[in-house]
Amino acid sequence: MTNPNRIALLGCLLAVSSLVWLPFLELKANRLVAGSGRRLLELGAAGWWLVGLLLLAGSSAFLIPRFRAPALAILGNLVFIVGIVLIGLDASKLLGSSTLARVSLAPAAWLMLVSSSFLIFAALNDLKNIWLKRLTSSVGILVFLVILLTGGLSSLSVIREYQTRLDTFWLEVGRHLGLAIWALFTSSLFGLPLGFWAARSKRFEGFILGFSGLLQTIPSLALLALLITPFSALVRAFPILESFGIRGIGFAPAITALTVYGLLPIARGVLNGLKAVPETALEAGRGMGMTSVQLFLSVEFPLALGLILNGIRTSAVQLVGLSTLSSLIGAGGLGVFIFGGLGSAANDLVLLGAIPVLVLAVLTDAGFRTLEQASIPKGLR
Amino acid sequence: MNRKRMQSLGLILAVTLTSLALAQQKGTVAIGSKLDSEGQLLGQMMRLTLEHAGFTVKAQIPTGNTFVTRKALIEGQIDIYPEYTGSAINNFFKGQKIPDGAPSRAAQSFAIVKTLDLKLNNVAWLERAPANNTFAVAIPITLATREGLKSLVNLAAYVNKGGVLKVVGSQEFFERSDAFPSFEKAYGFKLKADQKVVIAGATTTQTEQAAASNTDGANAAMAYGTDGAIAALGLVVMTDPKGAQPVYQPAPTVRGEVLKKYPEIAGLLNPIFKGLTLPVLQNLNRQIDLEGKAPLDVARTYLASKGFLK
């Protein structure tokens, strides 16, 4: 007998025990009050399907790898899909016709979703075929999106928040992205030359790292508030700036503050990248009679690119998160929901802002990782 | 240049000039607000009203916290935002002589704020709402009717004759001398330690919820006067006739230059704020905080129902 797949087994154990003992959904009399939990099996007999699937998945962890991988891939996705469907159905059943009541996910639902990803990861480890891998990792997400877009989850509290803020939600997502992208652009504009300069001059290196490190320690809220005065003065002196959208509050000071925070990872990435270029590669280049420009373009830069992109990725992910602060200076973004929700103790509104920030951060990270992979010279891959 | 081209150029010029003139006539106004839901609600009301009257409105709602929003107004980055008399009197006039007791008298504190802000900062205060969003004590309606409790005077008498009272509030509420201790001092009562339920960092929603559901035996809560949850949870606010608390009445604050240019703004906003009594604001806040409606929608429905938007 082969060893059972421990990840899959752990996931199933976690899910089954939490579904039995912990609340699956939480019902609140209204948006602000504390709610009471309901376990899956209290919500109807259909819950047994989910438990059954999990037990089946747990036992298939003992199969030989050739059968185990496809079994886990199918069962992992099934657990995820059936779980999402049950969340949607039970939530609308629990909500009934009440207009004030809210239903949100409780620990067992979250743990069930986590353990379905355990099963899928276990399957991905065993699968060899690249297309089967892609299918396994995307089917669940695609079905989830279909259920979400067709309104299958509209009884959930977060979706309710989304529906009441439909007219501003996508506007704020767009603003958030715009802020992060612009800030990444300006951070790179200053960070790349600074890093290059630091790598060239020993004396400057300490100054750059010290200075951009110092900038990172400025409390963000204080920095935002401090920027209002100079920007307002600037616009008063040059009213033409206003036609470019530059004002004392809003986009311009927000981008400035974000740039300050985005600088360090990029400068450090360039510095580390250039420093990591082996002296032997430089010698070889010089030996071939390269000028210093040629040496930079065809030896140093390609070899440093991986670490440079790594720095830009760190900065990008940070900026996606930090852009939430822009709402504190009238520049909008998803922080509007997060800080609005915190102010009125409405957790679901906080989630409406926080979940998209999380998704954006993960997507940004994945995108730049792909870029980093592609940037590695063929010979080194 | 041929004639036809001249003509079309002339036409374009004429259209541009006319549209510019029209835009000039109606004017552009930038409206901001603080981050809280009541601030956003009042900001959206101003926005809808001015838009309805033909202004071009740049809405920057929410703008930021008190500091950022006020600074944006002073620097001319926004033209109007709703502010509370209490916040103004406590924060904006450092070094100015404020008469003792004035902050807790509504009319007097409004008059002081209005005069000082116009003189010092060229900021005009329009009509205030007759609602006080300050620290208050809220108790269940059942208790209030049973014991005939309307004000803190009644509540103090009830406590002093041995009535059962247990107040739930944040640490700050019980410890800050201008919060609960100021009620005890002004009305002559003193709660024992076991009559207080202290939740560190609690919001008024949490304390109101606790008092409404009698958690830990609590039957009174720290509250803000216009909280939306008060009526929904079956609570009622004890009035503060002796003025232990500074008065926080919301009013539009407008840059002097803007009001001079468009004096009709006062006539548009004053009747709206006059109608925002404590029960009205509690009900509107309730729709935002408890029912989760967007401030803009609540503002629109309310203004339409009162005939301000036709």
CB contact under 8 A, A249 and B62: no
**Mean pLDDT comparison of A236-240, A336-340, B296-300, highest-scoring range:** B296-300
Subunit contact B72:A249, Cβ cutoff 8 A? yes
- Return all residues near A70 (Cβ < 8 A) that are at least 6 apart: A123, A127, A132
pLDDT surpasses 80 at B6: no
Please check whether residue A317 lies inside any domain of the structure. Answer: yes
User: CA A160 to CA A168: how far, in whole Å?
Assistant: 14
Provide the shortest C-alpha distance from residue B309 to chain A (in Å). Answer: 20
For residue B88, give the amino acid letter: A
Q: How many domains does chain B have?
A: 2
Q: With beta carbons under 8 A apart, name residues in chain A contacting B72.
A: 228, 248-249, 330
Q: How far apart are CA B123 and CA B70, in angstroms?
A: 10
Indicate yes or no: CB of B205 within 8 angstroms of CB of A345: yes
pLDDT surpasses 60 at B12: no
| Burial class of A13 by CB neighbour count within 10 A (0 to 12, 13 to 18, 19+) | middle
Residues 212 through 241 of chain B touching chain A, CB cutoff 8 Å: 229, 232
Is residue A347 assigned to a domain? yes
Interchain proximity B292–A346, CB inside 8 Å:
yes
Distance CA(A177)–CA(B298), nearest Å, equals 28
Residues of B with CB below 8 A from A250's CB? 60, 77
In a domain, B300, yes or no: yes
Quick: pLDDT tens for B239-293. Answer: 998 888 889 999 999 999 999 999 999 999 999 999 999 899 999 998 988 888 8
| End-of-domain residue from the set B210, B237, B264 | B237
User: What is the C-alpha separation between A93 and A107, in angstroms, rounded?
Assistant: 19
User: For position B281, which CATH number holds?
Assistant: 3.40.190.10
Residue found by looking up tokens 């009884």 in the block: A155
A197 in the same domain as A88 = no
Distances (CA, A) of B303 to A151, A279, B28, B287, B300: 32, 73, 21, 14, 5
What range does the domain containing B32 cover?
A: 13-132+248-305
Mean pLDDT of A74-78: 93
Q: Does one domain contain both B276 and B290? A: yes
Is the Cβ–Cβ distance between B86 and B304 less than 8 Å?
A: no
ipTM greater than cut 0.85: no
Domain that holds residue A245: 166-380
Can you tell me the mean pLDDT for B128-148? 93
Mean pLDDT, rounded, for A130-140: 89
- The answer to whether the CB of B151 falls within 8 A of the CB of B241 is yes
Output the six-digit token pair for A327.
Answer: 């709402």
List of chain A residues whose C-beta atoms are within 8 Å of the C-beta of residue B75: 228-229, 232, 248
In the block, which residue shows the tokens 């247990």?
Answer: B166
Q: Tell me whether B257 touches chain A (CB under 8 Å).
A: no
One domain, residues B252 and B127: yes
Based on the fold, state whether residues A122 and A189 are members of the same structural domain.
no
User: Taking CB atoms and an 8 Å limit, are B75 and A229 in contact across chains?
Assistant: yes
Averaged over B3-10, what is the pLDDT? 59
DSSP one-letter code for B241: T
A160 with A170, same domain?
no
State the total domains in chain A. 2
Sequence-distant (≥ 6) Cβ neighbours of residue B132 within 8 angstroms? B106, B225, B226, B240, B247, B248, B249, B278
Q: Are residues A160 and A171 in the same domain?
A: no
pLDDT of residue B1: 47
Same domain as A247, residue A159:
no
Indicate whether B17 pLDDT > 60.
Answer: no
Confidence bin at A298 (pLDDT 50/70/90): confident
What's the pLDDT score for residue B172?
82
The predicted-structure confidence for A252-287, as pLDDT tens digits, reads as follows: 899 999 999 999 899 999 999 999 888 898 889 888
B35: nearest CB among A31, A343, A346 = A343
Please, what is the angle between helix A220-237 and helix B66-74, to 10°?
10
Beta bridge partners of A156: A103
pLDDT score at B24: 47
* C-alpha distance from residue B10 to each of B2, B16, B17 (Å): 12, 10, 10
Residue B77 has its nearest CB partner, among A225, A248, A344, at A248
- Chain A nearest-CA residue for B33: A330
Q: Are residues A215 and A307 in the same domain?
A: yes
Give the DSSP letter of residue A298. Answer: I
Same domain, B191 and B289: no
Q: How far is CA B43 from CA B34, B48, B155, B170, in A?
A: 8, 9, 36, 29
Residue B159 lies in a domain: yes
Q: Which residues of A touch B (CB under 8 A)?
A: 30-34, 99-100, 102, 160-161, 164-165, 167-168, 224-225, 228-229, 232, 236, 247-250, 327-330, 336, 339-340, 343-346, 348-349
Residue B49 forms part of a structural domain: yes
Do residue A31 and residue B35 have CB atoms under 8 angstroms apart?
Answer: no
Beta-bridge mates of residue B237 = B138
pLDDT band at B27; cut points 50, 70, 90: confident
| Domain edge (last residue) among A116, A135, A164 | A164
Residue A227 sits in the same domain as residue A84: no
* B203 in A contact zone (CB under 8 Å): yes
